[in-house]
């Protein structure tokens, strides 16, 4: 799987998760706030990041596409 990194507003890593089959992943107990998700495929050099907002007492769902070829 790919490693997904959760970055805070200062770009500091706060959590990581590895994708499962189908690219799904989860990060539990993330504090409320604004973050950026970052993923990279080292072999191809492809990378992507996306801003997200985590709201209190809710589930945040994000769809990110990354071509792996």
- Range 45-58 average pLDDT: 91
Q: Residue 43 — pLDDT band, cuts 50, 70, 90? A: confident
Report pLDDT for 36. Answer: 96
pTM of the model: 0.85
Q: CA 62, CA 47: separation in Å to the nearest integer? A: 16
Residue 16 CB partners (closer than 8 Å, separation 6+): 3, 4, 5, 6
């Amino acid at each position: 799987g790919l490693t997904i990194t959760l970055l805070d507003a200062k770009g500091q890593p706060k959590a990581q998760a590895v994708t499962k089959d189908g690219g799904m992943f989860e990060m539990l107990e993330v504090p409320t706030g604004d973050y950026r998700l970052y993923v990279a495929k080292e072999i191809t050099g492809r990378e992507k990041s996306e801003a997200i907002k985590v709201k209190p007492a809710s589930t945040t769902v994000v769809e990110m596409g990354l071509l792996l070829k």
